[in-house]
Amino acid sequence: MTSCRELADRKLIGCLVAISAVEGLTVAEASRRLCVSRQGLYKLVKSLREAGYLTQERAVRLTEAGRQVLRLVLKHLLRYFNIVSFTLRGSVTSGLGEGAFYVSLEGYRRSIERLLGFTPYPGTLNVRLDPQSVALRRYLDSLPGIAIPGFSDGVRMYGSVKAFKATIQNIGCAVILPERTHHPPEMVEVIAPVRLRDALGLKDGDLVEIEVSIV
């Protein structure tokens, strides 16, 4: 877990931001792109690898620990600039019915009750985002969100889920981003304590606005 000390380390943050701009390149290629000496970058990469922020691959790549530092930096920057929420717009669409199964699982339901403060209706509202909202939705991938842990039922493992509290027409709900999903980036799933289609009189094709909290 990223510590307050790491967030306060301006040199570490600056290095990880720079590395993120050349992720996937070799050290030689990255040094040219960043206009620094190859020897200097090799030394930095070695230090960050030993600290667990970069992988041991030939290309420069951040580990989950490195990405987590950047996620928290982004969260603090958004808060500093008083950006506490944004609106996703899209149209209601039918899903495959998988949401009802997963939300009904006790392992997820109990965590949702504890972390989000409501008992979820056994199903999700699927929303296909408009192009402008797809770009905003990508911010959610980069923010920590509320981590709903995965679990095992003794037969199979269920992955973790990231959630963001939200509202649709004053009904409290949450946008969920499963660790493993078949949905494309323009699709989001919403859970709520009620069946949103019934509560809001929604049908396929109807436009909705989701006010998502990102703090």
Domains of the chain, earliest start first: 4-80 (1.10.10.10), 85-213 (2.40.30.30)
Q: How confident is the model at residue 5 (pLDDT cuts 50, 70, 90)?
A: low
Residues 6+ apart with CB under 8 A from 202: 92, 125, 196, 208
Residue 214: is its pLDDT beyond 80?
Answer: yes
Give pLDDT, residue 130: 95
First CA to last CA distance, the chain:
18
26 touches 60 (CB < 8 A): yes
Q: Exposure of 189 by Cβ count < 10 A (0-12 exposed, 13-18 middle, 19+ buried)?
A: buried
Q: Which residues partner with 162 through β-bridges?
A: 147, 177
The string of pLDDT tens digits covering residues 147-170 is 999 988 888 888 899 999 999 999
Cβ atoms of 211 and 85 closer than 8 Å: yes
Q: What is the pTM of this model?
A: 0.73
- Asked if residue 193 lies in contact with residue 119, where contact means CB atoms within 8 angstroms, the answer is yes
Where do we find the tokens 């899903």?
A: 95
Average pLDDT, the chain: 89
Output the CA torsion sign for 132, 144, 168, 111: positive
Cβ-contact 120, 191 below 8 angstroms: yes
Residue 83: predicted pLDDT: 79
